[in-house]
Chain A
């Protein structure tokens, strides 16, 4: 399963990175005379309602999807770790305040939050990243906070404190390296969720603006013509499914590798 996941992830990564080499056609070039063409040798995945080559759009859409997914996951990870450490190791009032903020953020439905942010900042990639960060930071921060609380009273942390180590040093050297494993696995399993969020928001017209290709906008285009040109929906949906499967399998394998207790199951 791990090999399969790795292969899928590599496939997605390579096709996104080398989109400009792999795509024969321009993903934004409109060719009205070629619209609604089924898969053929010139257009492997067919064309959409504006005659744009779907393969090229899928490949370039992969860039957007991965950029958003990896970028926002990294930002969420860093923010989550910092806030989690502060909540777990800081004074009680700060912990209470941060927990309140996490809970408040969590209580918003993702779509409502997205609508609000998009209304405020306009539909763009940045808005999508912002939505993802606000949705996933509380989860990371809560896990880091719990682990930090457990570490706070660990004997080696007490020993370091009794030997004059500063708080910053304790967090950096004695706490974080001991709790970072699980959160990295969680992050790798979150990448497909973010791909889904980006596609979903773009599908709703809240994310990437046309003519920039995105898996979500391809889906949206295909949705309007699903009765007579079903290949458009398939071209937009298949990469989402493959990416989600790939990252999920990879994440689960990573978890098993990092946690010896799960080995051999």
Chain B
């Protein structure tokens, strides 16, 4: 593949399973997608759909009982992250791949000053202490923390939740990574802060030019922030495409149901919010064929066989027997 146009992150047929006492739990099955350079790709899915496992697999931080059983994770088209040694993987984390987590309250070490933590992040930069502090101040200013010089000497508890999340974003972008993984970074914030944080992330992403993998279960945030999106269900990518393609013409029954359940899309008052009937399948005894079959209104006899990935338009793929032919 040409290196210039190679996506920042490309995942091919990734499967991950965990050895549990009750047997093997297949958390991810045949996951493939790409995060193009300089763009924001969103992942949606309900709790337990494998989002966190996916992040940990990319970061090389799967729990001891977890294992990548097949597939490849290519960073910038050259390195397969699944084949790197723990040491090589550690050298990439924080430098080429950065992460922002959900809980801004806990993401900073409570016993160290913010300045010390921002300095520590730059330990691979070879800069002097003074230069590091200057860069920290610069980054804090970019994430709009007022009075950054004074703020460096303060401790995390002296910051508000929104500020801590902005500090975490500043720290993640400090080393100008190629890929930023944002794991529901706005979920713990209130609505006004959420909008402000999203604006900020978009702005910084354009400045730095990194690719972003943005995990959220909030469809509105995905629509607002992302270019591409990936819909996950029970460890599988059921549909992927540009945000426009999916919001205008979702073809997988699960995506359609998900969009219908979004309260923001309701235009009239309802007695009960819509839900998808049924629960996630047992991943220890993953059913053959379509993973969504049991909860799908359109399920037929063909769904007992594994559904194909149907390309509906360039970049728009749905894993469903009914996706083609418009009969979905």
Interface residues, chain A, with chain B CB atoms under 8 Å away: 91-92, 154-156, 158-166, 173-174, 177-178
B297 at interface (Cβ–Cβ under 8 A)? no
Smallest Cβ distance from B137 to chain A, in angstroms? 20
- Rounded to whole angstroms, the CA-CA distance of A168 and B106 in the bound complex is 20
- Which residues of B are at the interface with A, using a C-beta cutoff of 8 A? 59, 61, 64, 90-95, 98-99, 101-103, 105-112, 120-121, 124, 168, 171-172, 181
Q: B106 to A164, Cβ gap below 8 A?
A: no
B95 / chain A contacts, CB cutoff of 8 Å:
164
List, in ascending order, chain B residues with CB within 8 A of A165's CB: 94, 120
Whose C-beta in chain A lies nearest to the C-beta of B104? A155
Question: Contacts A92-B64, A159-B168, A161-B61: A166 and B90 contacting too (C-beta < 8 A)?
Answer: yes
Given contacts A92-B64, A162-B61, A164-B93, contact A156 B108 (CB under 8 A): yes
List the count of A-B residue pairs having beta carbons below 8 Å apart: 58
Between-chain CB contacts (< 8 Å), 24 pairs: A91-B64, A155-B101, A155-B102, A155-B103, A156-B107, A156-B109, A156-B110, A159-B101, A161-B93, A162-B59, A162-B93, A162-B94, A163-B94, A163-B99, A163-B121, A163-B171, A164-B95, A166-B90, A173-B120, A174-B109, A177-B109, A177-B111, A178-B109, A178-B110
Q: How far is the CB of B51 from chain A (nearest CB, A)?
A: 15
> With A92-B64, A177-B111 in contact, is A158–B101 under 8 Å at CB?
yes
A164 touches B91 (CB 8 A): yes
Contacts of A156 in B (CB 8 A): 106-110
Contact present for A178 and B111 (CB under 8 Å): yes
Bound-state Cα–Cα, A166 to B123, Å: 12
Contact B64 A173 (CB under 8 A): no
Chain B residue numbers with a CB within 8 Å of A178 are: 109-111
Residues on B with C-beta less than 8 A from A174 are 109
B99 — which chain A residues lie within 8 A by C-beta? 159, 162-163
Shortest distance between the CB of A262 and any CB in chain B (Å): 19
